[in-house]
Chain A
């Protein structure tokens, strides 16, 4: 079946630096790609999404890039802060409009003071 995976299990960055979290997906028919943030012991929180007909979308301090040629998704966090420490999941949704999400394994972001 389809799967969404991540390149690195853990990413450690210095406070103030930019972070880049990567994700590879396999279903070229997916309609939306989404990033979620999960803090320890809590449920995931929606960060940002991008539709398959776009290649870049910006939010507050975050940018998501989509490269459909190589089926690659990335999340860039500018000026990383200690509060950004969490596990980040990419997810994709098939074009069937059921709201079903396929999640990747997650990347742990550690921010060093």
Chain B
């Protein structure tokens, strides 16, 4: 069966520090991968999505970036965090082609920028 992992689960970082969040998927190959951010009490905002290695689209201009060095690994990064980067970051995957709107989410990383 497929599983999706995210780490760390929680993170507290000072303003201006770098960020690296990792997501890995097991049990499937060539998935679509997504990074979302969820502010407290709000819906999910799509940040990045990837249809393949080194194929990444950015949805929202910001100080975040994403990379996909391997088929089932998706990394969210920042060189300098802002207070507004605080939130719940969710990684998701979907099967390419059929029902790719049916996305499977990871457990999330709660980031607090202080």
A43–B105 CB distance below 8 A: yes
B42–A99 CB distance below 8 A: no
A32–B101 CB distance below 8 A: yes
Known: A44-B44, A105-B43, A106-B43. A98 touches B108 (CB 8 A): no
Known: A42-B107, A43-B90, A44-B90. A103 touches B44 (CB 8 A): yes
Number of B residues, CB within 8 Å of A: 27
- 1/0 per residue, CB under 8 A from B, across A82-109: the answer is 0000000101010001111111111000
Q: Which of A4, A41, A49, A104 contacts B101 (CB 8 A)?
A: A49
Q: Does B24 contact A (CB under 8 A)?
A: no
Chain A residues at the B interface, C-beta cutoff of 8 Å = 4, 32, 34, 41-46, 49, 89, 91, 93, 97-106
Chain B residues at the A interface, C-beta cutoff of 8 Å = 32, 34, 41-46, 49, 51, 57, 59, 90, 92, 94, 96-97, 99-108
